[in-house]
Structure 1
Amino acid sequence: MNRTGIRMSPIDSKAMRELEPSITTDDGAGDIALAELRSDYIANADALGSVPLPGTLTGALTVGMSMLTGDRPQILLDKLGERLAFERTGTRLYDALITKCEVMLTGDISMTIDDLEQIRADEARHFLMVADAIESLGGDPTSQTPSADLVGVESMGLVQVLNDPRTTIAQSLHAIVTAELSDKAGWETLVALADEHGLADMVERFTYALNEEREHLALTQTWYEEAIGLTYGDVELDDMTPVSEPPP
């Protein structure tokens, strides 16, 4: 039985509200002291990692020349690292969802294991695409950039939801939709950055990945709505508007 609400124990909750007046009086001093402590930590904190140096001489020259022209390649490398980390996590999220669906999936929603395996393959391919892009700029895909560190922390809760044996398919899909929303926004940023740097080949490849992520979002959102009883009609991968063939 769920006993988290305060009304489940009226006697104890009454005692909690009848504290000594000196304890319950709020003059704001505690909040001010806490804010000052946090401010001190913020003012003296180090950065959340750093963008790694290029791993090759060619990469160093490429990045150095770009910095001289004011193109800020370190931002592009940082966001490439972010996407790499998130696509790796996305692959693991779908691995976990596939495992759960192999046990729990019924015919109540239009989602199938084959659908999930196809999206999982897309996420893995996107990971390799970003790794190749980093290497083409002379970077090291195994390096951890600040934004990669950030999304790793952000996505920890999503991983916990998918790997928790108690969560339902609907609850798992809620986490997947959250991941796909973030993924779409991340690819939009990456396309814009690649375009800003005049990297036409990357723009083409990243736009293709973005279109696939938009398809993933539409599918997972539909499946989630079906799972909670909001059925607007079955959606299958073959029913989606096909994207163009991937660039070579």
Structure 2
Amino acid sequence: MGMNRTGIQMSPLDSKAMQELEPSVMSSDGMDEIALAELRSDYIANADALGSVPLPGTLTGAVTVGMSMLKGESPQILLDKLGERLAFERTGTRLYDALITKCEVMLGGDISMTIEDLEQIRADEARHFHLVADAIASLGGDPTSQTPSADLVGVESMGLVQVLNDPRTSIAQSLHAIVTAELSDKAGWETLVALADEHGLADMVDSFTQALNEEREHLALTQTWYEEAIGLTYGDVELDDMASTQELPD
């Protein structure tokens, strides 16, 4: 508890005066909203796409991608999502770097999380980055290029980076951001496994499934640490037990 003055109840006289304003002052009959919607619609209709998947920069890459397209596959979608995962794993590594730095100063004894735990997850994220980079190169793509989905997750994760690097955020608040990142990471790897399977890339399916299982473990750990950080005391939740008690859809 502190001197938080953001709520309307902190100034009852002013808030009462605001609520007694004439309707004509408080509303413009929706004209402002209509004008804004029309302006946004114009921008949307005339906007360019959010980048593009680059053409292969090597002859081998061009042949590989061309053969895939001749077979009716969509290698550009796989390359785009690989670029997305590459960008996110790079960000994930930086998120854990920031959390480790914060925990070296603030970590107390109320959480089972250790610096060694975080360093292990950080090492996994870095290894996943190299795994995806190698996968892109094996398909003839350029791991250094930024695909549309890579651009997208870069913007999406900016807020997470800000939370972790803000010196004012607590361990619990930082872990909340980490759990958000791990949820997204898990979903991204599930998509990659499905896409690799569609393209018949058995080796990628195996390596991506291993990465997915590691991300599931990261998520379970960070959720437990977050719950401990905010004072929940019911203990760890066994994922297998939860799954066995859930009814399967018809």
TM-score normalised by length of structure 2: 0.91
- Whichever residue aligns with residue 16 of structure 1, its letter is M
Mapped contact 1:51–1:78 kept (Cα < 8 A): yes
- Gaps of at least 5 residues in structure 1 are 236-248
1:70, 1:51 → 2: CA distance? 18
**Given the alignment of the two structures, is residue 23 of structure 1 paired with residue 25 of structure 2, yes or no?**
yes
- 1:36 to partner: Cα distance: 1.1
State which drifts further: 156-165 or 226-235.
226-235
**Given the alignment of the two structures, is residue 43 of structure 1 paired with residue 52 of structure 2, yes or no?**
no
**Given the alignment of the two structures, is residue 167 of structure 1 paired with residue 147 of structure 2, yes or no?**
no
TM-score normalised by length of structure 1: 0.92
- 1:29 to partner: Cα distance: 2.0
Aligned residue pairs total 235
- What corresponds to 1:155 in structure 2? 157
Q: Deviations over 1:97-119 (max 9, x none)?
A: 00000001111111000000000
For the residue of structure 1 that corresponds to 2:109, the secondary structure is coil
Q: Deviations over 1:137-156 (max 9, x none)?
A: 11111100000000000000
Select the residue among 193, 197, 200 that pairs with 1:198: 200
1:172, 1:85 → 2: CA distance? 20
2:96, 2:115 → 1: CA distance? 10
Q: Report matched runs for 1:105-116 at 5 Å.
A: 105-116=107-118
Mapped contact 1:110–1:234 kept (Cα < 8 A): no
Q: Report matched runs for 1:69-218 at 5 Å.
A: 69-218=71-220
For the residue of structure 2 that corresponds to 1:101, the secondary structure is helix
- 1:234 to partner: Cα distance: 6.2
For the residue of structure 2 that corresponds to 1:3, the secondary structure is coil
- Whichever residue aligns with residue 185 of structure 2, its letter is D
- Whichever residue aligns with residue 195 of structure 1, its letter is D
- Whichever residue aligns with residue 209 of structure 1, its letter is A
Select the residue among 60, 63, 67 that pairs with 2:62: 60
For the residue of structure 2 that corresponds to 1:70, the secondary structure is coil
What's the RMSD between the two structures over aligned residues?
Answer: 1.2
- Runs (4+) of structure 1 exceeding 3 A deviation are 232-235
- Whichever residue aligns with residue 88 of structure 2, its letter is F
2:27, 2:165 → 1: CA distance? 43
Q: Deviations over 1:87-140 (max 9, x none)?
A: 000000000000000001111111000000000000000000000000001111
- 1:50 to partner: Cα distance: 0.5
What percentage of aligned pairs have identical amino acids? 90
- What corresponds to 1:3 in structure 2? 5
- Whichever residue aligns with residue 46 of structure 2, its letter is N
1:35, 1:98 → 2: CA distance? 44
- 1:189 to partner: Cα distance: 0.1
- What corresponds to 2:245 in structure 1? none
Mapped contact 1:96–1:162 kept (Cα < 8 A): yes
- What corresponds to 2:241 in structure 1? none
- 1:31 to partner: Cα distance: 1.5
